[in-house]
Amino acid sequence: MLNYQQARQILDAAELIHSEQVVSQTVQRLAAEITQALSHQQPLVLCVMGGAVVFTGQLLPQLQFPLDFDYLHLSRYDKKKHGGAIRWQVEPHETVKDRIVLVLDDILDEGVTLAAIRDKILISGAKAFYSAVFAEKETGKSKPCKADFVGLTVPNRYVFGFGMDIQGVWRNLPAIYAVKD
């Protein structure tokens, strides 16, 4: 766990990638796109904990249609900078069988986590699977799945803020930052 001074040093040395204003406008745009696509389907919306909680909290009030809500929790990072094996910690409590499901996540990095979620949801009998990610990392590599709704792109660097953490801290920032190379 980082202490206060270590956390401040990380932020002070980081580069601002997307401002608070850009982040807010991005959430508004995504809400409009999702509303247009899913407003007549009453989807089950699943938040991927804990990274997508900030994105979800700002997006849901802007969706102008009835929906059901639940969450799931799996991890590949565990406060590390590189992903490992997927660990399911909490599966959705709501049944996904015969439902339109929209999964909200903070970032589409390599796509491994989102692909695992998609596969599990579809195997469990969902009628349709949609995903919205606040950010997609430009890795230059092929990904096992694509998000249906993408907020903004970020460079292939370690990014944090707006739900994304760095060593467990700074999820609460209203903007997106990157560690300098």
What was the pLDDT predicted at 1?
Answer: 84
- Which residue is listed with tokens 């406008």? 25
For residues 69 and 53, the answer to whether their CB atoms sit within 8 Å is no
What was the pLDDT predicted at 78?
Answer: 53
What was the pLDDT predicted at 62?
Answer: 98
What was the pLDDT predicted at 81?
Answer: 55
What was the pLDDT predicted at 69?
Answer: 97
Sheet containing strand 176-178, strands side by side: 15-18, 176-178, 159-160
Assigned token pair, 45: 């919306």
What phi and psi, each to the nearest 5 degrees, are found at residue 152? Answer: -145, 165
CB atoms within 10 A of CB 88: 12
Q: Which domains does the chain have, with CATH numbers?
A: 21-154 (3.40.50.2020)
What was the pLDDT predicted at 88?
Answer: 79
Q: What is the DSSP string of 112-175?
A: HHHHHHHHHHHHTT-SEEEEEEEEEE--SS--S---SEEEEEE-SS-EEBTTB-BTTB-TT-SS
What was the pLDDT predicted at 75?
Answer: 76
The model's pLDDT over 28-60, given as tens digits with 9 standing for 90+, comes to 999 999 999 999 999 999 999 989 999 999 999
What was the pLDDT predicted at 56?
Answer: 98
Q: What are the residues facing 129 on neighbouring strands?
A: 101
Low-confidence residues in the chain, pLDDT < 70: 76-84
